[in-house]
Every structure is written in C-alpha cells, then in structure tokens.
Structure 1
Amino acid sequence: MAEALVSVVLQQLASITLEQIEEEVNLVVGVDQEVQNLILHLQAVQGLLQDAEERQVKEANVKNWLYNLKDASYQINDVLDEWNTAILKHHMEKQEKEGENNDLVLAKRNKVRFSIPSFLGNILIYFGQIGDRIIMRHDIAKRIKEINERLTWIAILRNNYNFQSTVRGTEQVERSKTTSFVDVSTIIGREKEKAEIIRTLKSESGDQLVIPIVGMGGLGKTAFAQSVYNDQNVTTHFHERIWVCVSDPFEEIKIAQAIIEVLKKDDDRKNSNVFQILLNCISENIRDKKFLLILDDVWNPTESNWKQLKAALQNGDKNSRILVTTRKNNVANMMGETNDHMINLNKLSDRDCLELFRRIAFFDKEIDETKLFDEDIKTKIAKKVDGLPLAAKTLASLMRYKKTRKEWVAVLESKMWELEEVEQQVFQSLLLSYYDLTPAVRQCLLFCAVFPKDYKFDRNELIECWMSQEYLSMKGDREKERMIGQQYFDNLVMRSFFQDFVKDENDDIKSCKMHDIVHDFVQFLTKNECFIMEVVESGKEKNMVVDNKVRHLNLMSTYNDSFPVSIYNNCKGLRTLVISTSELLPLPSDSFSKLKSIRTLKLNKNSIKEVPESIGGLVHLRYLDLSFNRELKELPDSVGNLFNLETLRLMCCYGLREVPVSIRKLVNLKHLYISGCEWLKLPKEIGRLRNLQILDCLYLQDGGEDDDGIFKLGDLGNLEQLQGSLYIANLKSAKDGSEAKNAELVNKKNLLHLTLHFRYFSGDAETAKDEEILNGFQVHTNLESLTIWNYHSTNLCPSWMMSCHNLRRLEFYDVPFCGVLAPLGKLPSLEYLEINRMESVKKVGVEFLGITGETPQTLINSFPKLKELRFHFMEEWEEWEGVEEEDSKITIMPSLLKLEIGYCERLKALPNFLGKAPLRELRIDGEDCPILAQWFETRCGMEWLKNASQVQNIKIQGKFVKKDGVGMLEED
C-alpha cells in the first residue's frame, strides 16, 4: 500500500532532527541535503497515489510504477530505521559506560593501582567501537544517496501516467456500534431451505446421511450452515456437534485432528501411522452417539481419503448426520453419494437482498430512509448485488457512511463496477469499500492476507502485528498506537471485512474470522507481496517463492518440516515471517542472517527447543512470538540486541525457566506475555523497562539462593505504564503486605482487569499473610474486574474494595475459611458476580446486600446494576435470608437477568426479593441441589414461581420447568 507507506517514510524523515545529526552519531557531510531531496521527491508523488492505487487494478504499467515506488520506500524505511537504531544503541552504550564508571569509582576506593594491559585493552576496544560506527555511518549515507538516485527517476516517470491529484480528509471512525453485522440467527431469505434441512437432520431414516449444501461463492453457505448448527431444534437433537473448516487442500489428518479436539480426547500424533490412529480414536469416541458433523468449505477431497474418514464416522448412531458446504457439484456428488438430500442454495430474491441491505445501511441511524432508499436507488442496488448476500452486506456497510443521495449515486455509478479484471462480482463491492478506507486502514486489512483461510484472528495479536509494521504511527503518536489500532479494527468490523466474532466477558470482540471470499479479495490485491508457501513433500514446495517482491510470508508445512533454503535466497526483503508447522526441525544457526528486514516473526505452536543466536541481528524486529514451544528452555543472550522489539510473546513455553538479563536493553518493549510459564523467574531488570504497558502475568517464585536477582511483587511499582489485564500468581510467596503496597497498583489508572491468585494448591493451609497481603494492595478506582483465587483468610473485604466504584465484574474462587460475605450490594457498577467454593458459608444474610439489621432511614438500592449472579459448590450453605415484604425503602437487584446455582446441596429456598427481580433465566444446576429442587414443588416454592412470572427460562435439575415463557417438563 504505497500511499500509507510513503506517509510513514515521510514521518521518519521528519523525525531525523538536526539535534540527532549533530550528536556523535551524525552521518557524513552532505547527508542532510540527501534527506531533504528524499522528502521533496516523496511529497511530489504523495498526492497522486490514491489515483494510482485505483488504476493499478487494470493498468499493468501503473502497477509496476507503484511497485518500484514501494520498493524504494521500503529501502528508505530500513535505512532510516537502522539510523535511529544506531542512535538508540549509542545512547544505551553511553548509559552502560556511565554505570561502569560509577562501579570503577567504587572499585578505586579499594585499589591503588590499575593494570596497564587492561587499560590499553579498554582503549583499543573503545577505538574499535568508534571505527565500527564510522563504517556504519558511511554505509548508511551511501545507501541513502543510491536510493535518492532511484527515487529521482521514479518521481520523473510519474509524468507518463497523468495521475490526478487527490486531497484526503480525515476519516472519523465510529466506535460505538461494532454489532452492525447480521447475526446468523437473522439470516434472511432462507427459511424454506432451513426448514427442509432441519427436517432431514431430525428424520429417523436409519441411515447416516451426508447432506451437501452447494452454491457459488458469496451466497452465504457458511452462514446458512451456522444458523442450522446453532438452531435449538438441532442442538437438543444430537449428542455431539462438531464444526470443521476444511478449505483447500483437503487434508484428512487435520480434519481428523479437529474432530478429536472437539471430542476432547488425546491422541498420539507422533506415531508413524497418525491417520489410522486418529480414525480409530474417532471411531471409538462416537460409538453409538448421534452426532452432527459440519465440514465447511470443502474443495478437493480424494475419494479414497474421504471413504476412510467416512468409514470411521459410521461407528456412530445410524441417525447421525454429516453436513458439507462446497462450491463444487462434483465434490457434493462424490461425498454425498446421492443427490436425494442435496441443498442447492440459489441467489436471494431482490426483495430479500434489499431487506438485508436496509438492516445494515440504516443500522441505528436517525435518517429518513425514504430520502435515500427510493425505488430508483433500490433498483440499482439490486442490480449491483445480483442476489449475493455478501455483496449486499458489503455494499450496505459502505453506504452507512454516505449521508446524502449524491454520495449514494456516486457509489452506484462508480467505474469500479465496470472492471473486467475483477474476477468475481463480490470483489467489485469489496473494492468500493476498500478504496473508501483511509490508506492506513487499507494496509491493516491487506496484512491479513498472510494468514490462511479460516484463520482465527486474535484482536490484540493482530493489532500488535500492525504496530510492528508501523501501520499505526501515521500521526507520529507512539503512545496512542494501541488505541488507534482498536479504532482501525472496529472500522473493519463495521465495514463487514470480519465475521464470526467471539466476545470476552466484557463484551469486547476477542477474536474473529474473515469470509473466504474476503480472504480471496485481499490475496488478489497482495498476490506479489503476501505469500503462503506449503511444503507438501520432502524437497518439493507447492508454492515456490520466485523473487524478492514478497514482503510477508507464511510457511505452512505438513509433511516436510525443514526450513526451505529458497527463503534465504529469494526473500531477503521479508518484513513478516510466519512459520505455521507443528514439528519444525531445529533452526539452522544462521537462520536469520540474511533476513535482515523482518519486523514480525511468528514461530509459535512449533517444536522449537533452541532459538539461534543469529536472531540478535534482526535490528528491525518489533514482534516476536515463541508461544506454545513447550520444550523451549532458554532464550539466547543476543535477544538483548533487539533494541526495537515492542512485543515478546512467550505464552505456554512450559519449559522456560528464565530469560537473559540482557532483556534490560529492550527499552522499546511494550508487551510481554508469559501466561502459562508458571516456573519462569523474571530477572529484576524487568523493572527497568519503563515503556512496558502489558505484562499479562506475574508468577511470584518462592525464595532461593538467587532471590535478590528475581522480579518480585514490589518491583511492579517501577512499571508505571501498565495497562489492560494483570494476573498475579502465588501471592503467598510475597514477604508481607508492604510488597503489595510497593506494587503501587493505585497509580496504574489504565490497569482495568486484575486477578489475584494466592497459591497453586488449595490444600496449602498457610493463611497468616493472606489478609495482610490483600489489604496491602490499593487499586485505582478505574478497575473494572477483579478475581480472587485460593484465598485462605476469614476476611474477604479489604477496605479498598468498597471504593471500586467502576467495578463491573467480581469473582471469588476457592475461599474455604471465609464464612461471611462482604457487603457487595454497595458496589454501584457491579454487573456480574460469581462466588465459587466458599465452603464455610452457612448463611447469606442481608449484610451481603449492604443492609444493616436496623430499619433503613434512607432509600437503599442494593446491587443496582447486577445482571448475572452465580453461586457454585457452596457445600455448607443452608439459608439465603430475605427482607421484610412491606419495606418499600429497599430496592434489591433491579437489573438482575440471570441467576445460576449449582452444587449447593444444603440450600433450602430462594429469598422473596428474587421473585421481584426482572429475571429472564434461572438455572439450578447439578445433581447436588436436591433440597432446593424439592422446595420448588412445595407451596412456598410454587408461590415463588408464581411471583417470578416474568422468568422466561427456568431449568431445575437438568429439566426445563419453563422455556421461552411456556411451562413444560422436558429433558434438556
């Protein structure tokens, strides 16, 4: 994306200030003039790039001109990055030297003489470093001059194409409505087909049926299958439901592994005959079970492999079903064996397409639809989308941002609809939406092409990858990059470039996927830059990288897990390398010696035991992911040379025991992820990383010989920029409450989610310090969620908890000795409360509501915003106290929608005030609530149910008493 790249480079050039040039790291005479010439050339073409970007789709010579401009810009980007790195390295060496001099002063107090050979050696080392810096400066200056000469010709050649200058305004990103996608439960225009397929799924034919769903791309086959898969009639009919995205190629081993993962059974994947073992495991675990298996997006299965997999599946109940979605009739015929149950999805009617369009285009808008959505406009829209739901959805997402009829007409009459080079009709509406994005957001979207179809994008990971590529620093504000990334992500969500959203407990999008046609689209636009290489057999690559145009590479290997040599020779300009193999052979010692331009390196979920020292030469590296390398025991000391590193992911590296002390030099590190590394001893030097914003976990280690050298609870006080979520484990190893106070959480206003885990093992009876440590903490009032685990004191209400006025979520797990609940009803913002395994609680009294025993003199609103309440494994709990019926001054849980109680075997009844709460769902789970279940059958229990008439779903002991507002008694 030349337009955004040029903007980044211009920012870099602007940041090379005179103060930097005048320092000891200045370059040779005249380089400042070369920098000015670079700025002039780039500014000359900057305003023409919007026109060039749009014309490259159909004009090959324009595309070639853009490629040369991008290639030169990449080179400038690298050179300037090396220049800035040299400046940073110089400052760090200076600081290290000052520290050594301070140590030397202390040493001279004890030593009168110094060693002449040692002194001369230090002099020689010093002048050697000076010489290295001079050589490096001349090299940078020479490269800048060469690039300038090339850029001069590129700037001159622009005159051959008559580009039109475009001035771009600033796009206002709406963040509030990220739910403007059509939910699968509201699929439009498929009612007849859905009823037919559900009828077939539930039929007792006695034969295991394979039901193909066939249709062209963009018809919504996957969305249709999802609506069937999640339909209540289907979920209650089958014992097991399994969803597998197949895509291209059809790999029977991966499909079998995916099925096993859903069935939650272990398998021995290292055996030579993996496929047969997986088939045996599938066969055994579905024995006599009625299952529904969805094989989504099937392209090219071989008949022999499909028959083997199908044979293993036939051990289930004869009324099991297999649903296959595919674009190809020959695939449907081969897998289905008969056309009797095939579902052919046709295009939607104009009426249904327009209804889908209207729902999205006018979502939550205060606009008179009739002014924009008249019959003439409707006719044009119907013609453009041509019955394809994805085209309607994409076009509607674009029109949401067009406020006038003139803007709507301009979109519908755009020349993009006439492009013959665009292979699929959906691509035309995608192109319109794509070019309506700002250049920076376009870059972020195109980066997704390096990942395969059906890839689950973790929102935070994706944003950090964008950061590493410098896509989020368009305004030069490095501190707000993550916020900008969230805005860009939300923008792409609202434009319908993402789907299949998974949300976290705070209702924020945690992960998503990309429709396979949208994936085809981004690969269409990046086919020379983003590349997925598949090594299908020893020494033979399915997709060969042929030149240095590739900037982002994903190496996917199934059968040969070696590191292809062709990458070294053909991909020296790589900026992203993702290795997606599961059993990667040991990396060569010089693995990264030729791949100097890499910014993003993902080596997660492999079998790496050792990281080569050569990784320290990746001076541009900003993102390093080594997560889920379970046998990785250490990192090389050279990691400390990655001065630009911003993100280091080490999650679930179970064998990792320590990281090198040299990590102190990573002054730009913002994100350190170590969840799952329970025995990792962080060095105390972590406290010097003052730019660290995210430390997801801190596993406190019990004292040992090197106790003074490890990072402790109190050292958190040095990390002033921490934000997001923090999990602190093994708190019992903290010395006392002063350590908790020294952590200074009260000063971390952007730390919103906190988990305090006191001990690894519940059986640990040591309790003396728990209350002191908990009371020692002070948190900022911005805290939104708090979880406490394995706390062994009798008091669970530190003074600071009641001051958490913004606390929305509160959870307690394994608090065995606390017998009285805190007055949590006083928390004004609390929306979710879960209490689990508080084994000493016998009675939940009115103090829990924040009510004293006296008659209230003022109005009391207890739990004013609580929406969901859960109690589980309260083994001694017998009584839940109510309030006086006539007490009109007390309002209790006026927002409560869901109540869940499980494994509370002694609880006798529910309090009267719950009958007045606006409950929508009541679940009494587990076989260990017999007394409470029996109470519902008594006069009091029936009276309570009568008072709670607004409850839509009541489920007691696994049976529905009421479902969707209708009384019933039914097995779930």
Structure 2
Amino acid sequence: MAEAIVSTILEQLALILVEQTAAGVRLIAGAEEEVENLHRRFHLIKAVVEDAEKRQMKETAVRVWLDDLKHASYDMEDVLDEWNTAIRKLQMKRSSGDANVSQPMRTVRPSFIIPSYWFSPGQLVQRHNIATKIKNVDKKLDNIVRDINAYGFIISREQGSGKVASRPSTTSFLDESYEIRGRNHLQNKVASLLMSGSESSTASAASSSQVPTQRPTIISITGMGGIGKTTLAKLIFNDNEVRNHFNEKIWVCVSEPFDDIRIAKAILESLKGSATNAVESETVLKQLRESIEGKKFFLVLDDVWTEEPQNWEQLLGCLRCGSKESRILVTTRNEKVAIAIGTTKFNIIPIELLSDEDCWSIFSQLALSRRLDIEESENFENIGRQIVSKCKGLPLAVKTLGSLLRFKGKIEEWQRVLENELWELEELDEGLLGPLLLSYLDLPPPLKKCFSYCAIFPKDSRLEKDKLIRLWMAQDYLKVKGREDMVVGEGYFENLAMRSLFQDFERSEHDGGKIISCQMHDMVHDFSQFLTKTECSALDVNKSRLQLPSWKARHLMITGETRSEMVPFPSMVYDETKLRSLVLDQRLSFKPRIALSKLFDRLTCLRSIDGLPVGQIPKGIKKLIHLRYLALGENPWIKELPEALCELCNLQTLDVSLCHYLKRLPERIGQLINLRHLMNSKEEWSRLSYMPRGMERLTGLRTLGAFVASGGKSSKACSSLKSLNKLKHLEGSLTLRGLGNERDLGDDNDDEKVDLKSKMKLVDLHLRFDSTTKTKDHRVVLECLQPPSSLEKLGIYGYAGDTISPTSDWMLSLAKLRVLTLRFCNECECLPPLGKLPCLETLVLEGMSSVKRLGNGFLGIAEDHQARADQAETASSIIRDTAFPRLETLEFLDMEKWEEWDDCEIAGGKTIMPRLRHLSICWSPELKALPDYILGSTSLDKLLIYYSRHLNNRYNMETGPEWPKISHVPNISFTLHGPAAQGSL
C-alpha cells in the first residue's frame, strides 16, 4: 500500500509542472526546485518500500516507519491536489473572462512568476497556506528519509512501470465448481441429517394443530478460516433434493457484531420478499413468529461468532414456532459457538483439511490452464506440488496461489514463490498470511490501492462493482488520461477477481454474464484490514461506548442498525480532519442529526461522501475542494442543491438517484467540467421538472440517469434535448422524461436535430411522454428520438400517437433489442411488426387500451400472397418466416378492449415464438381465445391468466371445454380476482 501511495505522489508531482506550464502561472515561488526536491526524495523512498512491506510482518519498528510514511504521503498528496486544483481554477477563470483574473495574465510566459498584486486576497492566502503545508510535510519526510539507512533497507532494482498485468487469453472467469473437491461425503452426511426423521408430507406439518415446543434441530459445520465451510453450506443449500424437502429456505450471514434483531429482520425479508419497517424488537419478533409458525423451514446461519447462549434465546424462541422437522445449519470457526447455539455433539461436523491430491486438482486447474509440452509440464508440476504442500490443505490458500501463478509463465517465477520467506509468516491466521501476502505483493501499485480500499466495507457485505469503481476513481486510484476511467476500473476489478481476491459473483442474466456485484472471503477481508488498520476504520453505532479504532483514519464507514431514529451523529467524527472517505452503511435505519456546516469546515480532505441523510446541503460544501464523489443516498428530505456545489471543480460523481423530491439541480451545473456520472432519479414521480441550461458543457459525462424535458417552456434556464448532442460519451441507461412538446427539440430556425443515434454505448433507453401535450407533438418527438442500433432495452410510456411505429420505421432497425416495454400508449390501435426483431427476448404490453386485435402484422412475417387472396376476409394466413425467433417472455397487462388474437397456418417448417416460456395475460376480459401456435407450443413452461373471463371459461381445468389444449403446460394459474396466483398447478 505504501508503494502505491508513493507512486501516486510521483505522478502528481509530474502533473503539477505540466499544469503550471499549460496555465501560464506559478502559485509558488521556486516551484520547480521544490518539485525536484520532493521528486528525488520520493524516488529514494520508493526504491526501498518493497523491502519494507515484506519486513513489516516481523519487525514492529519497520511497520511504524511504513505507517509514518503512508500518513506523510497522504498529507503530501492532499497538498499537491490542492495545488493542482488552484491552478485548474485559475485556468477556468481565465477562460471565462473572470474579473478577478486581470487581463495581463493572458500574456505571461510560463517561466514567469506572477506578481502578487495580480491575485485576489483569497488567492494570496491560499498560496501561503500551500507553501506552509509543503514545508510541514517536508519536516516529516526528513525523518523518514534519515531512517532509511538506519533500517538497512534493500534497494529494489526492479522499479516496475506500475502497469496492470495483462489478462490471459481466456476472457471469462473459471466456473467456480473447481473449488469443490473432497467434500462429497460431508455433503451427503449433512444432507442426511437435514432430512432425517421427517414425514413424507410437508403439508401435514404445516397444518398441524399443535405448535411444537422443542427447538429445531441444529447442525453445525466447524473449521478454521479458509477451509471451505461456506462453500460446503452453499452446496447443501442449493441441492435440489434438500431444497424440495422444505417449505422455506433462508440464508443469513451473521458475522460480527452479533445482532439477533438484524438476523430476525433478514429472515423476515427472505420469507416475505421485502424488508420490514418495524423498529421495536418485540414487533419484529412477533412478525417472525407469525411468519414461521407451522412451516418446515431450512435456515442457514453463516459465519457465526458469538459464544454467549443468552444471545440466542429470543430468536430461537421464535423459531420454535416452526415445524419440528425444520432444520438450522450453522457455519463457525469455533466449536464453542456450535455448543452455545444448541448443537448436540453428534450434529457437529468438523470439516477437515483437503488431501494433497484434491489441493493439486484445484491448483492445477487454475495455474496450469495454458498448454505446455511434456517436459515443461513435468517441471511446473514438480514445483507446483511443493507449493501446494505448503498450503496445508486450505482451499483458500490453494486457490489464491493458483490464481497468482496463472500469471507466471516462467519456471524461475514459480521457484521464487516456492522459496519465498513469507511462507513462515503465521500472524494472520492458520497459515493463510503467507499466500495472501504473496498474492498482494505481486499486484502493481494501482491494484494494491484498489484492493486495500475494500477494507472500508463491513465483512460479508456485497460490493456493487460499478459503485466500487467510482469510489476508486474518487481516490485517484485509476490513473488514466481521457475519459476511459470506468473501462480501466473494470480491468482492475477483473484482475482482482481473477486473482481470487473477490468471489461470489452476482452476474447479469444478459450482457454476457457481466458481473454486477461480489463479496470478499472473510479471510481476505481480514487480510485487507490487516494491511490498512491505521487507515480504514469502522465505527459501530450499536456499541455503548463509541471509539474510533484509529485516530489516524483516512477512510471511515459508520455501521450498525439502530432501533431508534433519534441517534445523534457520532461527535468524534468531527475531529477526524484527515478523513478522505465518509460512508454511512446502507443498513443504518436511523436519521442522524449531522451538523454539516461543522463537518464541512473541519473535514476538508474528504474525497468521497456516501449516504448522508440530510435535508439541506449548506453553502460550506464549497470548502471540500478535494471532493470527487457525493452520493446522498435514499433521501426523501432534500429538495434542492446549493449553487456552491458548482465550485467543486474536481467532482466526478453526483448521485441523487433516490432523492425523488429533488426539485432542481444547480443552475451553474455546467461549471462541473470534471463530472462523469450524474445519477438522478429516473422515476416518473420524480419532482425534477427541467434540466438547467449549461448541460451541454458537461462533455465528459458518461452516466446520466434522466434528462427532463422542460415541457416547451421558453425559460432561458432550461436546456433543450439538443444539449444531449454534446454529451458524446453517454453510456449504459438513459431515461428521457416529460417528452411530448415539439419545442423541446430546439428552436424552429435551427437545422440541428437531436442525435441519439450516434451514442453507440447506450444500451437501455426509456422514453416517458407527458400526457398533457398534443398527440401530434408526440409523433414528431418520437420520430426525432431514433436510438442507436446498439440498443438492447427500450421502454415507451404514455405515448399518445395512434401508431407506435415512427414513419422512419427505426424501431425495426434495432437488431440487438432484447427487451421492449410499451406502457399506457392509450391511443395506439395497432402495433408495429415486432415479430421481425431478431433478438427480442421479452415483450411487455401494458395499458394499450385502444388495441382490439393482434393481427398478422404484429408477427411481422411474410405471407403467402395467393393464400391471402383466397382468404382475404379470414383471420388465418400462411407464414413463410419465423416470427419472434428468440422471444421467451410475453406479457399482456390491462388490455381491456382486446378481443381477437389472430391465428396463422405454419408452412415450410417455419415457426412462431419457438422459444416462448412464459405467457401472462392480466386484465383482458374481452379476449376470446388463444391462437393455435400458443396452444400447441412445446416450449411454454408457465401460463398465467388473471381476470380474463372468456379465457378462464374456455381453458380452466374444472369447467373449460378446451382445457386439454393447454394441459401439457407445466405451470398454469387462473384467477378472476386480480394478479394474485390462485389454483396453481
């Protein structure tokens, strides 16, 4: 970590001279000499940091030296950033013709020091402050450099470039099944205990009139960290036989600190599908008893630590209300914990170390995935088996080193790993420190910083990938030129994942299985905290005596789940003036009373703020000159942002996506020239009514939640839709709201059109029309908003035209479109030929109240002309092409006038909807019948028909004469009482 910070300092020093030259100003007299002096010192320090990081594990004095170096480097980085920011602001004022920067400044040569009378008084004070801060850090560096000789550090001869290791030729992550070796007998044993002694009928237990008084049987898997307890539990939890045996399956990660009410809430959320709003413990436990009563459930409590039996009394008391056949599976490192929770000695399952052969199987699949000749293979295997033997049967250690060595293609590199003295380290836990440290030290400096930063998050929390990358960006960990920061961050994330430092990936069902979020193994998380224990701190508001773990903290997360909304903000945070990150855990349910003016006055080094639940942002926010990331969380109180926010020229991310009551953005938002991500509310109930003028100046913007059209207002404060043309780098998802007035497209005398078509990185577009505008305008606006051919998801809402298909027919040009949603387009009588869309997988039609018939035009297929002539007035024709070739989900909702769904005869082996799996028809009371190509579908797995009287009478199992036509569908549900599933088969 120290090496990474020093590398950043050297990059900033080089940047300062470049910025000063470009600006034609020098804030500090003798700047070149000062920069050269700092550059020389930090180069000397960087040469010995690698040796110091290895020795810190055994030598306390070296660890202290490294600690001092890191904090001195942080201070230097802050003052250099302040210096660069001052230069940048002077540049901005010059370019805007600010009166505070006099005209002669434009003619000054770069090497000339600007006279002091050309600066404002505030700028003169700033110059003095920067110079003073540099001198103060200089004094700390004197001591650090002096001690280099005293410790006899070895100077590294391999001064790397700092570039991130390139990814191997295989571009996808290995299937995680490689982790599972040598556990089959344990899996079978635990599964047998879970299902033993139960009755065959689950219904009998659920309907029993007697509530069991004994607690559910508890089975505990025990073993040291990194041995695979959670992996085994997941295998069992996802086993089909086990899952089908129970009414309810629940997984809760307990971890530390223990909180029985949080566990109870997590169980409730799993059972109900949504979180409870209850605060009082008695209410929560009562809800849990009611939800669990009589049910045969399977509950996994993962990573349990508490050894106090009394902590479990209330929770287990509630769980007794379930069926006696219910089971609880616990994973813990400590057998005492298993006993404390009530596990009998016969139900404690110790998980043993893996055999050498099982370890080798895991290792070789990771490390030897490339092709080798016979001789090479033997040499690598010989060394590899010796490395595996040092892992002592721990799957996590094997996995970590296998992931490390897959990047090493030379036998000498493997030999160095085998002979490394770090194998002797045992400080972290059970022999895992050596492998983890070897993997960490192999990381380039930028990746070391990105990995270490993850220590700020609570153990077992899910890390949202895109948010994590934006936080890395806020700390300047992504050293990139231009606007490809998220691309670089994605590469950093994948590198860490490929080295097994992240796991448990949640992937998108589409986008090639792109990673959405992940977790860190608890041992890897412990290791990251070990590396950053004086930098990353967590403050738990549940503790009776609040105390920061480190008074030198640079990154702080406030955690816990409170039971009261009146808990004050921890006062000691105001004294942490060096903080760079302040994050409020999203699990916090309280609304702390934060003195923001005091916070902004004192914590001026902050670079990221996440989750502040406040109603008003004070003007003092402009003092946070380093701030790059501001996320206001789920905030129903905030209604506007101060203009002072626009003075934060370093701001990169502004997240107000859940601030639905926000009425306006700052009028001077165009000054935020470094803004990359503006995430505002996409929802139709958002109060934001227009976008301020100047949006076109945000040319680096990559993410924009929603652009709100002004409704044709002539106010000079509003940006028109044409300002989107300047935002050439937009990507991901975009919502356009308030559409429908032709004047939103720009001035009548301007030939420039709104251009969405060129934004090829947009994949998700939602068009929300204003119902109060003219139908004619709707058609004009829809015609102009042609999206790029790269689009994968499209939603159109509230459109008032009589046809949904623009005259240019651009909808049919969307060859990559996977999801299409048309909602409340009430005047539309006929649909475009959507069956022609080659990649469409999901189609949702809702509130199309003027549609009476779905004809063959909807299918978009070529018809046999002779057949059409012979059957001109019939509802049937012969198709020649496949319609909806990839459609899997089709939903019709609230189609109250829909009467006919035309049929077709299929010719020449062609098909209609050959992949359809899920069909829902809700609130379509006039629809008379389903076409034969639906009734005869062999792929259909689920058919839901809600409040559609004719269909119910025709196909219902009990009374419908045509029930045999749909009886082959595995899952069918009918109801005449709305969308609650009843009578499911």
Q: TM-score, normalised by structure 1?
A: 0.84
1:333 to 331, 339, 358: 339
Deviations 1:216-270 (A, max 9, x none): 2112222222222222223333333322211111112222222233324664545
Cα displacement (A) at 1:488: 0.5
1:172 equivalent to 2:166? Answer yes
Q: Which runs of 5+ in 1 are unaligned?
A: 102-125, 946-953, 960-969
Q: What secondary structure is seen at the aligned counterpart in 1 of 2:176?
A: coil
For residues 386 and 308 of structure 1, what CA distance do their matches in structure 2 show?
A: 40
CA contact (8 A) 1:907 1:932 kept: no
1:556 equivalent to 2:538? Answer no
Residue 592 of structure 2: aligned partner? 585
Residue 509 of structure 1: aligned partner? 515
Change (3 A) 1:265 1:695: closer
Cα displacement (A) at 1:462: 0.3
Q: What secondary structure is seen at the aligned counterpart in 1 of 2:232?
A: helix
1:449 equivalent to 2:449? Answer no
Q: Which stretch shifts more, 519-528 or 25-34? A: 25-34
Residue 236 of structure 1: aligned partner? 244
Q: What secondary structure is seen at the aligned counterpart in 1 of 2:78?
A: helix
CA contact (8 A) 2:611 2:634 kept: no
1:903 to 921, 925, 928: 921
For residues 327 and 743 of structure 2, what CA distance do their matches in structure 1 show?
A: 59
Residue 491 of structure 1: aligned partner? 495
Cα displacement (A) at 1:645: 0.8
2:349 to 343, 346, 349: 343
For residues 853 and 483 of structure 2, what CA distance do their matches in structure 1 show?
A: 50
Q: What secondary structure is seen at the aligned counterpart in 2 of 1:333?
A: helix
Deviations 1:728-762 (A, max 9, x none): 234346756669985421232322321223359xx
Residue 201 of structure 1: aligned partner? 194
Cα displacement (A) at 1:701: 6.0
Q: What secondary structure is seen at the aligned counterpart in 2 of 1:42?
A: helix
1:695 to 687, 704, 716: 704
Residue 29 of structure 2: aligned partner? 29
For residues 429 and 836 of structure 1, what CA distance do their matches in structure 2 show?
A: 55
Residue 617 of structure 1: aligned partner? 623
Cα displacement (A) at 1:695: 0.8
The AA in structure 1 aligned to 2:171 is K
1:433 equivalent to 2:444? Answer no
Residue 122 of structure 1: aligned partner? none
CA contact (8 A) 2:426 2:433 kept: no
Residue 403 of structure 1: aligned partner? 409
Matched ranges for 1:808-823 at <5 A: 808-818=818-828, 820-823=830-833
For residues 918 and 606 of structure 2, what CA distance do their matches in structure 1 show?
A: 50
1:192 equivalent to 2:185? Answer yes
Q: Which stretch shifts more, 518-527 or 35-44? A: 35-44
1:535 equivalent to 2:527? Answer no
CA contact (8 A) 2:427 2:433 kept: no
Q: Which stretch shifts more, 487-496 or 575-584? A: 575-584
Residue 649 of structure 1: aligned partner? 655
Cα displacement (A) at 1:326: 1.5
For residues 744 and 865 of structure 2, what CA distance do their matches in structure 1 show?
A: 38
Residue 923 of structure 1: aligned partner? 942
CA contact (8 A) 1:361 1:400 kept: yes
1:575 equivalent to 2:580? Answer yes
Cα displacement (A) at 1:158: 3.0
1:749 to 748, 753, 760: 760
CA contact (8 A) 1:869 1:900 kept: yes
Q: Which runs of 5+ in 2 are unaligned?
A: 102-115, 200-211, 868-878, 975-982
Instruction: State the superposition RMSD in angstroms.
Output: 3.8
Residue 202 of structure 2: aligned partner? none
Q: What secondary structure is seen at the aligned counterpart in 2 of 1:92?
A: helix
1:785 to 771, 793, 803: 793
Residue 106 of structure 2: aligned partner? none
Residue 817 of structure 2: aligned partner? 807
CA contact (8 A) 1:394 1:429 kept: yes
CA contact (8 A) 2:799 2:825 kept: yes
Q: What secondary structure is seen at the aligned counterpart in 2 of 1:70?
A: helix
Cα displacement (A) at 1:183: 4.7
CA contact (8 A) 2:832 2:857 kept: no
Residue 143 of structure 1: aligned partner? 133
Cα displacement (A) at 1:375: 6.2
Q: Which stretch shifts more, 453-462 or 651-660? A: 651-660
Change (3 A) 1:712 1:352: same
Change (3 A) 1:846 1:442: same
Q: What secondary structure is seen at the aligned counterpart in 2 of 1:283?
A: helix
CA contact (8 A) 2:798 2:823 kept: yes
Change (3 A) 1:163 1:907: farther
Q: Percent identity?
A: 34
Change (3 A) 1:711 1:290: farther
Change (3 A) 1:536 1:879: closer
For residues 175 and 76 of structure 1, what CA distance do their matches in structure 2 show?
A: 40
Cα displacement (A) at 1:878: 5.1
The AA in structure 1 aligned to 2:158 is T
Cα displacement (A) at 1:502: 1.6
Cα displacement (A) at 1:646: 0.6
Deviations 1:881-910 (A, max 9, x none): 44543x26x6877xx655211227758566
2:854 to 843, 864, 870: 843
Residue 69 of structure 1: aligned partner? 69
Cα displacement (A) at 1:611: 3.0
Cα displacement (A) at 1:385: 2.8
Deviations 1:53-101 (A, max 9, x none): 3333333333333333333332222122112211222233345555999
Change (3 A) 1:909 1:391: farther
Deviations 1:188-217 (A, max 9, x none): 332233233333434427763232222221
Q: What secondary structure is seen at the aligned counterpart in 2 of 1:398?
A: helix
Residue 106 of structure 1: aligned partner? none
Cα displacement (A) at 1:916: 10
Matched ranges for 1:732-743 at <5 A: 732=740, 735=743, 742-743=753-754
Residue 79 of structure 2: aligned partner? 79
CA contact (8 A) 1:812 1:835 kept: yes
Deviations 1:678-703 (A, max 9, x none): 11244334343232221112344657
Q: What secondary structure is seen at the aligned counterpart in 1 of 2:461?
A: coil
Q: What secondary structure is seen at the aligned counterpart in 1 of 2:941?
A: strand
Q: What secondary structure is seen at the aligned counterpart in 1 of 2:90?
A: helix
For residues 664 and 76 of structure 1, what CA distance do their matches in structure 2 show?
A: 30
For residues 825 and 349 of structure 2, what CA distance do their matches in structure 1 show?
A: 54
1:246 to 234, 238, 254: 254
Matched ranges for 1:475-490 at <5 A: 476-490=480-494
The AA in structure 2 aligned to 1:179 is F
Residue 256 of structure 1: aligned partner? 264
CA contact (8 A) 2:534 2:550 kept: no
Residue 120 of structure 1: aligned partner? none
CA contact (8 A) 1:391 1:430 kept: yes
What is the count of residue pairs matched by the alignment? 905
For residues 298 and 377 of structure 2, what CA distance do their matches in structure 1 show?
A: 44
Change (3 A) 1:870 1:710: same
Q: Which stretch shifts more, 367-376 or 173-182? A: 367-376
Change (3 A) 1:321 1:728: farther
Q: What secondary structure is seen at the aligned counterpart in 2 of 1:212?
A: strand
